[in-house]
């Protein structure tokens, strides 16, 4: 919404949220999320045509177009628990919109939702005959955290799904006009509403599948003495495959991939498509396997005990350039290390506050240290969990001198110079390549 306000000064954009702390942060110098370039965009538009408020009722009444971007996490209770989308926030929002609306509105689904949710929204909105017309559009968000501003400014595509009725098509054209302020027309694509909803789930499933595919092969490389970087390079040179998204790692995280695939799996099961559901579910299973494999390898090579050893996690965010830690592999590894009675030290340039919140009540000995040199001092091992650029540029001779010996590095992102680290004295364990050990 900040990007829309920034690019289209003639629209007035009001962001409302039921969480007053978040709104206060959006109105302050300390935005609630870190995203390169976001602060500049917000500062340029805030107070001009971008406003943040907790007044949901007023926001609904005053707006002609309402983008619904509430959370749609995986359900943790009842039917479909652990798999289906929890639509309670979505449902509540639909009822709020119905209750407070006193003029016709266009409702835009921005949240990622199961197929046919727009129909449910429409039913709730029109269940009271108050003479108001609601047109529901699907406009899934394809931005990636860490590069959100770049992706919004120059998107691969903007997808708008609508019903094919005259008023549905008219509403679609209103939304097309907004994006056309800065996105070229050929990148604004239109479809029927169900295709639009499904495309978002499928895009995330394909992206996650690519990561799980290369990660599955990384396990084989470690056994077969092949090198995953060389394999990925050779495979990616094929233009039909392409070289993007082929970096093996400790596994994918983030709030979307797992939730959206499970959503897809649940939908397939709902339609009795067992084989299709099993196929996609395996993408999540490989990801869990990769995180567990990483952890068990640490335990195994560190002489089958981690008790009382200090282990430093380099990075806690689920990827670089974000402070978001939802479903981060570091979260999983930290908890498993605590179970093994290791003493865990976490360092991250942007995610320490979220890390501390995530691990509250986990027990064990966990500390949070911003400076990576201080964090790794006295540790037996470093595990690189996030591909922050700063880590590759650290002085590892200095770090080695300050660590307990033998010193280990587990590079869960393959971002370090492994030969060099080995030369310094570290025992080095990358992903998908043979380990380099001094014993």
Q: Which stretch, 16-24, 39-47, 311-319, 343-351, contacts ligand NAD (CB under 6 A)?
A: 16-24
Q: Least distance in Å: CB of 25 to ligand NAD?
A: 10
Among residues 14, 93, 163, 212, the one that binds ligand NAD under rule CB under 6 A: 93
Which is nearer to ligand NAD, 93 or 427 (by Cβ)? 93
Interface with ligand NAD includes 197 (CB under 6 A)?
A: no
- CA pseudo-torsion sign 104, 108, 113, 117: positive
Nearer of residues 70 and 369 to ligand NAD, judged by Cβ: 70
Subset of 141-160 contacting ligand NAD (CB under 6 A): 141, 143, 145
Least CB distance from residue 56 to ligand NAD, whole Å? 5
Nearer to ligand NAD, 72 or 209 (CB): 72
If one asks whether residue 202 binds ligand NAD (CB under 6 A), the answer comes out as no
x/- contact string, 248-277, with ligand NAD (CB under 6 A)? -------xx---------------------
Specify the stretch interacting with ligand NAD by CB under 6 A; choose among 43-51, 67-75, 171-179, 397-405.
67-75
**Site for ligand NAD (CB under 6 A): how many residues?**
21
Determine, following the binding rule CB under 6 A, whether residue 101 of this chain makes contact with ligand NAD.
Answer: no
Query: Shortest Cβ distance from residue 155 to ligand NAD (Å)?
Result: 12
Query: Should residue 328 be labelled a site residue for ligand NAD when binding is judged by CB under 6 A?
Result: no
Q: Does 111 bind ligand NAD (CB under 6 A)?
A: yes
**Smallest gap, in angstroms, from Cβ of residue 137 to ligand NAD?**
15
CB of residue 359 vs ligand NAD: minimum separation in angstroms? 19
Question: CA-CA distance, 132 to 126, in Å (whole number)?
Answer: 8
Q: What is the distance of C-alpha 200 from the center of its chain?
A: 14
Q: How far is the CB of 397 from ligand NAD (least distance, A)?
A: 38
Nearer to ligand NAD, 161 or 430 (CB): 161
Q: 221 catalytic, yes or no?
A: no
256, 268, 312, 379: the catalytic one is 256
Contact 227, 221 (CB under 8 A): yes
Which C-beta is closer to ligand NAD: that of 70 or that of 176?
A: 70
Pick the binder of ligand NAD from 1, 7, 11, 17 (CB under 6 A). Answer: 17
Secondary structure, 3-state, the chain? CHHHHHHCCCCCEEEECCCHHHHHHHCCCCCCCCCCCHHHHHHHHECCCEEEECCHHHHHHHCCEEEECCCCCECCCCCCCCCCECCHHHHHHHHHHHHHCCCCEEEEECCCCCCCHHHHHHHHHCCCCCCCCEEEEECCCCCCCCCHHHHHHCCCCEEEEECCCHHHHHHHHHHHHHHCCCCCHHHEEEEEHHHHHHHHHHHHHHHHHHHHHHHHHHHHHHHHCCCHHHHHHHHHCCCCCCCCCCCCCCCCCCCCHHHHHHHHHHHHHHCCCHHHHHHHHHHHHHHHHHHHHHHHHHHHHCCCCCCCCEEEEECCCCCCCCCCCCCCHHHHHHHHHHHCCCEEEEECCCCHHHHHHHCCCCCCEEEECCCHHHHHCCCCEEEECCCCHHHHCCCHHHHHHHCCCCCEEEECCCCCCHHHHHHHCCEEEECCCCCECCC
By CB under 6 A, residue 56 contacts ligand NAD: yes
Q: Is 63 in the site for ligand NAD (CB under 6 A)?
A: no
Which one of residues 12, 18, 40, 339 is an interface residue with ligand NAD (CB under 6 A)?
18
Select 148 or 428, whichever has its Cβ closest to ligand NAD.
148
Is 88 among the residues that bind ligand NAD (CB under 6 A)?
Answer: no
120 contributes a contact to ligand NAD by CB under 6 A: no
Please give the Cα distance from 152 to 182 (Å, whole number): 10
d(C-alpha 16, C-alpha 169), whole Å: 27
Question: Where does this chain touch ligand NAD (CB under 6 A) — which range of 137-145, 228-236, 336-344, 376-384?
Answer: 137-145
| Closer of 179 and 408 to ligand NAD (Cβ) | 179
Dist. CA 48–CA 58, nearest whole Å: 18
Residue of this chain nearest to ligand NAD (CB atom): 111
Q: What residues line the site for ligand NAD (CB under 6 A)?
A: 16-19, 22, 56, 69-72, 89, 92-93, 96, 111-112, 141, 143, 145, 255-256
């Amino acid at each position: 919404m900040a990007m829309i306000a920034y690019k289209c000064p003639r629209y007035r954009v009001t962001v409302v949220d039921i969480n007053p702390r978040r709104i206060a942060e959006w109105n302050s110098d300390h935005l609630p999320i870190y995203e390169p370039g976001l602060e500049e965009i917000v500062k340029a538009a805030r107070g001009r045509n971008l406003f943040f408020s907790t007044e949901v009722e007023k926001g609904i009444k005053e707006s002609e177009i309402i983008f619904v971007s509430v959370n749609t996490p995986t359900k943790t209770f009842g039917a479909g628990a652990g798999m289906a989308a929890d639509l309670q926030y979505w449902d509540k929002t639909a009822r709020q919109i119905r209750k407070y609306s006193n003029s016709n509105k266009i409702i835009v689904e921005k949240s990622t939702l199961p197929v046919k949710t727009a129909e449910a929204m429409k039913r709730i909105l029109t269940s009271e005959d108050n003479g108001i017309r609601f047109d529901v559009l699907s406009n899934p968000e394809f931005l990636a955290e860490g590069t959100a501003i770049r992706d919004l400014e120059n998107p691969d595509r903007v997808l708008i799904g609508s019903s094919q009725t005259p008023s549905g098509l008219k509403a679609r054209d209103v939304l097309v006009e907004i994006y056309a302020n800065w996105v070229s027309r050929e990148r604004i694509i239109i479809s029927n509403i169900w295709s639009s909803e499904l495309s978002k789930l499928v895009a995330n499933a394909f992206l996650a599948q690519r990561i799980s595919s290369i990660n599955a092969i990384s396990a084989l490389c470690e056994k077969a003495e092949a090198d995953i970087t060389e394999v990925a390079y050779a495979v990616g040179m094929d233009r039909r495959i392409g070289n993007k998204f082929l970096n093996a790692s400790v596994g994918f995280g983030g709030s979307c991939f797992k939730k959206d695939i499970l959503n897809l799996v649940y939908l397939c099961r709902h339609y009795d498509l067992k084989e299709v559901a099993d196929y996609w579910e395996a993408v999540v299973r490989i990801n869990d396997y990769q995180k567990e494999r990483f952890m068990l390898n640490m335990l195994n090579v560190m002489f089958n005990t981690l008790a009382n050893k200090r282990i430093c996690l380099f990075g806690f965010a689920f990827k670089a350039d974000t402070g978001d830690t939802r479903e981060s592999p570091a979260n999983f590894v930290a908890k498993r290390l605590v179970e093994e009675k290791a003493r865990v030290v976490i360092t991250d340039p942007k995610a320490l506050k979220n890390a501390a919140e995530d691990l509250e009540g986990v027990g064990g000995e966990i500390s949070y240290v911003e400076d990576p040199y201080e964090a790794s001092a006295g540790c037996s091992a470093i595990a690189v969990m996030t591909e922050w650029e700063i880590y590759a540029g650290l002085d590892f001779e200095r770090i080695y001198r300050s660590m307990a010996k033998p010193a280990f590095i587990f590079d869960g992102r393959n971002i370090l110079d492994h030969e060099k680290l080995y030369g310094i004295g570290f025992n080095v364990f990358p992903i998908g390549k043979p380990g380099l050990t001094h014993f």
